[in-house]
Structure 1
Amino acid sequence: MFKPTVGPIIGHTTTNHARIFIRGEAKNSETTFAGLRYRKFGEEQWTKATFVSLSALRDLCEVFSINDLDSDTEYEYQTGWFSPMNPAHNIESVAELPLQWPREVYRLRTRSTETRQARAYIVGSCRYLRMTAGIASLPQLGDRIFASINQLIEGAEPPVSATLMTGDQIYVDDLNLVAPDREYKDILHKYRTAFSQPNIQKLMSGTSTYMILDDHEIEDNWPANADKSDHELYRNAMAAYEQYQVSHSPAHELKFNGQINREKLEHYWYQFSDGDIEWFVTDSRTRRNLSADDRRILDQEQEQALLEWLINSPARVKFVVTSVMFYPDRKVLGDDAWKAFPEQRLRLLETIRTQRIKNVVFVSGDVHGSLTSRLTHSEDPDFEVHTIVSSPLYNSILLPYAKTSTFILDQPLAVTAAGNYRHELTSEVISEDNFAHVVVEAGQILVNYHDRDGKQLQSIAIKLH
């Protein structure tokens, strides 16, 4: 057996379930299989291996579903792919072959059932990887920050539950003015290259990774910049996105047999929980309505699901991921974010305020700058919402970093008959490559920003109520 060409990537993980993505390889039209086995850390006996057939229609990618795990438990696993000499083999017959598994042993940890236990997460976005003629230019620069994340995770207490990648995991349009990628094979190659760099590969093989797209997975400022010729681009970009980012996410439901239902995918947005902390990861990019009479950044179904979750979820802390900034607004280019959809934003805020929903935090990236900020209401002292922005993991030399002067900070976010929504920065604006280490404790959320070498840049405490 050979080690995966991409992955393994640990995706959605619960107290008793985990999803593991891998990609194999095939020469000519060989029949190719992938296998996975696991055991509790410290035990010698492996479970009976699971095998799947890899299809070129899915770029030789597959996601294993592991069920009936114990909570808050560390497991080891091995995985790989192979093409048997006899093309007549099937999933049942390859299980009888005397296979030599790859030497690499990976680890994963299931979620804890202890609700009040402290939790930690890594948050980042916008990882630029320049590709020229199909070859990555200086890929080690874009991979460097993941070595620092790995180092932090190794000694982190509480353990890091998951990594949240909140958009622009790849740049399909990195050469948009010269030779943009539009073909499916070229976009797939970009994913393979980006996700197989050594440090990000190590991160994703040992820590659950949750992803959501932003515009550069398709095209800058999508769909505002789309034209009639972009239908094929969109179809190709989404097909690749579904293989490499959606496939291991909670957007896919499980079938009765515990396996992932790859035939059914209703939307890209999803929810997941971790003790008494819950996340709602929105798709704020592909469901937009730009018409003047019903402008929406979230479609009606998604908005309704988000509002019902905000009102009805018993979670102590509610994180809402939106790849573009919820607030504060940018002075320039703000129309690509929530600034251009003020009615829908106000509906969310009014629901949070009138329903007395506590500890709501909006998490985003996009702007190539990091910050935290606090939103209050002039007539309602009980209302408070926070935002955590983490961007970029690695910036292009062609793109500027955000600064404090980038944002509108001297006027209310919204003015209503019931009062004004006012916001203020609760951190400095970080204008360099960075990531956020977010720790949820009993009485506060601690947001620690680190530079690409792992040095802590600043730490912000958000009080919980």
Structure 2
Amino acid sequence: MKTWSDGAEPAPQGWRRRMAALMLGCLLGAAAVAQTPGLPSHGPMVGAVTVDSAAVWARWNGPGTARITYKASGPGPAIDGPDIEITADHDFTGRFELPGLAAGTTYSYTLQFTEAAGQITRNASSYFKTLPTLPTTLSFSVLGDFMTRQRASKALRTAATPRPNFVLIVGDLDHSDPARQPNTQSYYPIEQADTVLHNLRVMRRAMRDPSTPLGADFVKAFVTSKTAQQLQIPLYYAWDDHDYCMNNADIGCPFGDLARAVYRDYFLPAADNGLRSDQLCGETGDWQSFNYGELASFFMLDVRSNRNAAAGQMLGQCQKQWLLDGLSRSTAVWKFIVSPVTFNPGTKPWDAWGAFPSERAELLNFIQDHQISNVIVLSADIHSSGAVDDGRNAGLPEVSVPHANMPSTWVDTYCRLDPADSRLLVSAPGTWMLGGLMEPNLQREPVACLGMDYSKKRVTPVAQPPFPLPGGEGPGYVRVDLNNSQVTIRVMTADGVQKRGYAADGSPADLKLELFR
């Protein structure tokens, strides 16, 4: 049997070296305990929580068999779920369904893992709570646009404290571009699909790996749950281009099926989702919807995998019909469309909803014709410091979520050179109700957009302010609080302080949207 000392240097001479060796052995032993084989390497996390069900996700470092045991608070028996095979085919991840739960009840659960050699390990308990049958209030946080695993996100830590009912992440949960060949703007050749699969899995693992700066924040927000007073927070997530395939990805990405498969392995979408095997329309994607009682309905969009500019479609026929049907059926007071790109047609019109005017008009006309009230858009993608509109410019009330942890050279992403004239800088922040009075990319000398010097370029005229707040002013998140009669949406700094900007008349104003039923 190989021991810790096998292959080490010859035994030390003298008591000082013996003591040093003993201390090193103790340290290594402690590390081995901290990384006990059989414990999840990632997670566990909870998601898809309803009044009577939930799901749990975890990943291990190797093959085996896993089983969940869960129990409602108070007296009563624990319930064992079925055994689930953990295999390399799904990157050693497992999803555990918890049916037949009681509404508004706190549950604890543990995961038992049996290795191939027969060793059994059980992790410590985690806790979550099912939805109440008739909720009267709701609080949730929204984040978007993360850089990489090597950059921590104070905004994420703060957005989870105090613990909201759930968290939405609106696209670009990493900018890895897993399908892009290094040092190019091209996809890997299809022959290198294994490389893309590896990149996708590494990206998903790293974002919740406690050994990375962002992963540590992710674990603290969504995994840590030591007592029944520290409930796990359900996460709902929709991808954008950088975490789907690569920058500006659309239906032409040759690795869409791999991205969908890895999403299924690593996330817990709501039951109503576009990844189900029973989709009948021939299109799939990570769109999903869920309800929080009669208070709110949520429609999280996939704006990439079925985007077809030639056909004028961002959502594809299947997802578009799903969205229209869902909006018309919803009986909730508030309806949230969660879009990974901005709905405001003047903002980044070459890549957001402004690039699909017919589809956008169809959605707006449908909402008006069917008298669907209280529809609100939550969007991301532009790496600004936030913006608010009551519908006068965006068509629907919309709040643009600040970036979560971008460096100053990666902010305000609505600059580009005119494709027809490389001397002309195009910058389209769009007009918003609340934001800043100066266009973020043009107030610097030299003009800096994504770290590039545009000072010798002519600048196309921009819209009238307010514009989104400059992303260089800092990351943040959005906090939403609502009840049956009012919804309040606040744009927050990474420290949890409400951001301030300006209105069109130049007066200072909080970046806050208040809507009443």
Shorter-chain TM-score bucket reads: 0.7 to 0.9
Match of 2:200 among 184, 187, 190: 187
Q: Which amino acid aligns with 2:183?
A: V
The two structures have a TM-score, normalised by structure 2, of 0.70
The change in CA–CA distance for 1:5 and 1:251 in structure 2 (over 3 A counts) is farther
The change in CA–CA distance for 1:240 and 1:326 in structure 2 (over 3 A counts) is same
- Hey, what's the Cα distance between the residues in 2 that align with 1:222 and 1:402? 16
8 A Cα contact 2:67 2:84, kept in partner: yes
Partner of 2:113: 81
CA drift of 1:336 comes to: 0.8
8 A Cα contact 1:375 1:385, kept in partner: yes
CA drift of 1:363 comes to: 1.3
Partner of 1:448: 490
- Hey, what's the Cα distance between the residues in 1 that align with 2:234 and 2:81? 21
Residue aligned with 2:172, SS: coil
- Hey, what's the Cα distance between the residues in 2 that align with 1:446 and 1:356? 22
Structure 2, unaligned runs of 5 or more: 1-36, 189-194, 210-214, 224-231, 416-426, 434-462, 500-509
CA drift of 1:204 comes to: 2.3
8 A Cα contact 1:270 1:280, kept in partner: yes
CA drift of 1:335 comes to: 1.1
CA drift of 1:64 comes to: 0.5
8 A Cα contact 1:125 1:392, kept in partner: yes
- Hey, what's the Cα distance between the residues in 2 that align with 1:423 and 1:308? 36
Kindly indicate whether residue 176 of structure 2 is the aligned counterpart of residue 172 of structure 1.
yes
Match of 1:408 among 398, 405, 430: 430
8 A Cα contact 1:211 1:249, kept in partner: no
Partner of 1:69: 101
- Hey, what's the Cα distance between the residues in 1 that align with 2:121 and 2:476? 40
Match of 1:8 among 23, 38, 44: 44
The change in CA–CA distance for 1:402 and 1:289 in structure 2 (over 3 A counts) is closer
Partner of 1:361: 376
CA drift of 1:42 comes to: 4.6
- Hey, what's the Cα distance between the residues in 2 that align with 1:274 and 1:359? 15
Match of 1:150 among 160, 171, 178: 160
The change in CA–CA distance for 1:100 and 1:235 in structure 2 (over 3 A counts) is closer
8 A Cα contact 1:19 1:248, kept in partner: no
- Hey, what's the Cα distance between the residues in 2 that align with 1:447 and 1:463? 9
CA drift of 1:274 comes to: 0.4
CA drift of 1:269 comes to: 1.6
Higher relative contact order (CA 8 A, sep 6+): 1
8 A Cα contact 1:127 1:142, kept in partner: no
Partner of 2:335: 318
8 A Cα contact 1:73 1:110, kept in partner: yes
Matches within 5 A, 1:259-408: 264=278, 266-276=284-294, 277-291=296-310, 294-330=311-347, 333-369=348-384, 370-376=386-392, 385-401=396-412, 406-408=428-430
Partner of 1:243: 265
Q: Which amino acid aligns with 1:221?
A: N
- Hey, what's the Cα distance between the residues in 1 that align with 2:464 and 2:375? 15
Residue aligned with 1:336, SS: coil
Partner of 1:101: 122
Residue aligned with 1:57, SS: helix
Count of aligned positions: 401
Match of 1:220 among 247, 270, 289: 247
Runs (4+) off by over 4 Å:
42-45, 174-177, 179-182, 261-266, 402-406, 422-431
- Hey, what's the Cα distance between the residues in 1 that align with 2:174 and 2:432? 34
Residue aligned with 1:13, SS: coil
8 A Cα contact 1:403 1:429, kept in partner: no
Partner of 2:66: 34
Kindly indicate whether residue 85 of structure 2 is the aligned counterpart of residue 53 of structure 1.
yes
8 A Cα contact 2:387 2:511, kept in partner: no
The change in CA–CA distance for 1:311 and 1:234 in structure 2 (over 3 A counts) is closer
- Hey, what's the Cα distance between the residues in 2 that align with 1:39 and 1:426? 50
CA drift of 1:401 comes to: 3.2
8 A Cα contact 2:301 2:339, kept in partner: yes
Q: Which amino acid aligns with 1:164?
A: L
- Hey, what's the Cα distance between the residues in 2 that align with 1:328 and 1:335? 10
The change in CA–CA distance for 1:384 and 1:264 in structure 2 (over 3 A counts) is closer
Partner of 1:433: 475
CA drift of 1:397 comes to: 4.4
8 A Cα contact 2:141 2:160, kept in partner: no
Residue aligned with 1:462, SS: strand
- Hey, what's the Cα distance between the residues in 2 that align with 1:148 and 1:437? 10
Structure 1 or 2, whichever has the larger Rg, is 2
Partner of 1:463: 515
Structure 1, unaligned runs of 5 or more: 87-96, 130-135, 154-159, 254-260, 378-382, 412-421
Deviates more, 1:8-17 or 1:263-272: 263-272
